[in-house]
Structures are given as C-alpha cells and as structure tokens.
C-alpha cells in the first residue's frame, strides 16, 4: 500500500471512531412530565423536582433527558399528551395534579408512574394502598381538600362579620367537585354565606373577581388548581385592584403579591417526586415505594399587601406564620 493511500485510510477510520463509540453508548433515559398548568408558573417547583433528581445522581442534559407536556388549563388535552409520552416510551412518567395523573394512568399500565395528587390515590385507583402501592405507580398525595377548614377560618378572621365569603373554582378540573363539596360543608357548619364563582379562562377570571365586589363578599378563597395558579399574576393583580382579601393554597401567590396562603410544602413535594423518579431509574419498582404524605404545612402572609388593602392582620395569624413577607 502506498503511503498516501495508507494516510487516507487511517484518516477515514479515525473520523469514524467517534461515531462508532457514540453508537455503542447506551441511550439516555427519558422522563416524561405532564401537567395541567403552564410551564412558566411552575419554574420554581420544577427546580425542586430537579433537586430531587440530583439527590440520586441525575442531572437533566447530562445523564437524563426530560420531555415536558403542559396543557395550560386545557384538561381535555391531557389524555393526548399522556399518550404522546407513552408512545415516546419514556422510562418514567411524572404527573402533577389529579387530571394529569388520571391521564398518565390511562395512557399506560406498565410505564412507571410517579404522581403528585391532591386526591386519595387509593380511591382514584392508582395504588392498592399507601404503604404497598403495587402496580406501576407511586408518588405524593397532598389531600389538600382537608385543608379547606383552615382557609375558611383564616378568611373569616380577615373579613367583616356577616359578609359573604367568595370561593373561586375551575369546573373542568377533576378534583373541583370534591373541593366544592368540602368547602360548602364547612361553610354550612359555621353558618357562613358562600358565593361560588367559576372560571376556566382569563376572561372568566376577570368576571369572577369583579363579581366578588358586586356580591360585597368580605374575602375570597381560591381553589387548589394548577390552571388557576398558572394565572396567579392575573388573580393577584385583580384582587389588589378591587381590594379583596384573598386566601390561597400556595406561597407562590403570596410571593407574587397575594395576601395569605396556607397549604403543604409544595417544593418539598416536588423534590420528593424527583427522588422517586430517580430511584425508579436506578432500578427500584414503584410498587415497592410507599406513597408519601406531606408533614410540613406553610402559612405565608404578605404584610405589604395587607397594608395596601388596609387590613390589620390578627396577631394570632402573624404569630403562627411560617413566613412573613415585608
């Protein structure tokens, strides 16, 4: 073989080596994340999810890929989004919210599924029990409807005696009827007049907040709902404009200028589903991982917003607050 031919052959082989090496490397596992909300409103919580993955040794883009699917309040699109992830053959499917969890559960009975659900996962049929889930699913159960009594109590401390209490809900959400039943039961028990407002798009949110003023409601409670949270800036702005004392389910509203929130530590919950997704990637079975319930609940108040609304927050509320934003 001539020297020039040998060099040409050697150069061609060297160029092919990286391709051959890459072809032999195992494909990066893919996690599919599905949510009824929108991406922008969940950035902080997704950061906590990434921390959970990192706790077990996974970093997006380095040794795991993540496919995101956000319905932005269009609950009827969730089954299609979940089926798309199933066809993608993701290694683990992660769902946030009841609607997303139902869609993921319906899309596959074999793909490991880590859920963050606001309803009882046993009742929904995701798991056999909290301690021994069995099957292909596990996750975190927030059971947030049980916190409605505390939110009603907070609202009644901030509103004039005898005034109606308003409640904003998003009817298409699968968990909405249960939340409504819970708060109606509590309102009847304490003889509190309740005005129920319904909104599933920005225009309806505008109308609902305006209705609070027309009904002369003393305060507003916003239901736990991924879509409503995706519109939190709109809701907080309208509540401030109309000087409506408003109680929310998560601190993200209050850091955006809302008045008061009470609910589970969502950052901790998202970190936990990240940990579970990573443990499954490591080889553990979801059916062997017990469903986790939150042990930490946060009361967050915004003093600046209280002053703008002309409200003196009760000393008891301030004393119990886990975080006071000034």
Residue range 128-144: mean pLDDT, rounded: 93
- Say what the pLDDT of residue 7 is: 44
Could you list the beta-strand ranges (E) of 159-264. Answer: 165-169, 194-198, 219-222, 246-248, 260-264
**Half-sphere CA count of 156, side-chain side, radius 13 A:** 15
- Residue 22, pLDDT > 50, answer no
> How large a percentage of the chain has pLDDT more than 90?
80
Which CATH homologous superfamily contains domain 30-141+265-295? Answer: Response regulator (3.40.50.2300)
pLDDT for position 318? 93
How much is the pLDDT for 38?
87
Using one digit for the tens of pLDDT, what is the confidence trace for 272-316? 999 999 999 999 999 999 999 998 899 999 999 999 999 999 999
pLDDT given at position 145? 64
Homologous superfamily (CATH) of 145-264+298-325 is Response regulator (3.40.50.2300)
| Every domain of the chain and the residues it spans | 30-141+265-295, 145-264+298-325
The pLDDT tens digits of the residues spanning 77-120 come to 999 999 999 999 999 999 999 999 999 999 999 999 999 998 89
Instruction: Name the pTM for this structure.
Output: 0.84
Q: Which of 34, 116, 111, 143 is nearest to 79 (CA)?
A: 34
Q: Measured at the alpha carbon of residue 230, what is the angle toward residues 63 and 309, in degrees to the nearest 5?
A: 135
- Residue 207: Cβ within 10 Å count: 13
Q: How far apart are CA 209 and CA 197, in angstroms?
A: 8
């Amino acid at each position: 073989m001539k020297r020039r031919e040998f060099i040409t052959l050697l150069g061609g082989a060297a160029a092919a080596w990286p391709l051959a090496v890459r072809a032999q490397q195992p494909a990066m596992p893919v996690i599919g994340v599905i949510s009824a909300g929108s991406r922008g409103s969940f950035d902080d919580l997704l950061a906590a999810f990434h921390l959970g993955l990192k706790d077990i040794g996974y970093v997006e883009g380095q040794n795991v890929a993540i496919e995101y699917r956000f319905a932005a309040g269009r609950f009827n699109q969730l089954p299609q989004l979940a089926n798309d992830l199933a066809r993608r053959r993701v290694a683990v499917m992660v769902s946030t919210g009841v609607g997303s969890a139902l869609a993921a559960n319906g899309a596959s009975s074999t793909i490991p599924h880590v859920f963050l659900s606001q309803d009882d996962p046993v009742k929904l049929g995701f798991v056999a029990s909290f301690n021994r889930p069995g099957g292909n699913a596990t996750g975190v159960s927030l059971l947030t409807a049980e916190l409605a009594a505390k939110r009603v109590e907070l609202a009644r401390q901030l509103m004039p005696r005898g005034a109606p209490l308003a409640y904003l809900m998003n009817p298409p959400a699968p968990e909405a009827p249960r939340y409504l039943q819970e708060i109606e039961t509590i309102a009847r028990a304490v003889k509190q007049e309740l005005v129920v407002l319904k909104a599933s798009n920005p225009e309806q949110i505008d109308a609902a907040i305006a209705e609070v003023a027309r009904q002369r409601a003393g305060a507003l409670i916003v239901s736990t709902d991924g879509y409503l949270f995706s519109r939190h800036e709109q809701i907080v702005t309208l509540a401030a404009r109309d000087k409506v004392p408003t109680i929310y389910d998560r601190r993200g509203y209050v850091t955006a200028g809302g008045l008061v929130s009470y609910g589970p530590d969502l950052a901790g919950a998202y970190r936990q589903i990240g940990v579970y997704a990573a443990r499954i990637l490591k080889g553990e079975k979801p059916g062997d991982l017990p469903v986790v319930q939150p042990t930490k609940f946060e009361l967050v108040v915004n003093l600046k917003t209280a002053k703008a609304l002309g409200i003196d927050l009760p000393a008891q509320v301030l004393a119990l607050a886990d975080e006071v934003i000034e």
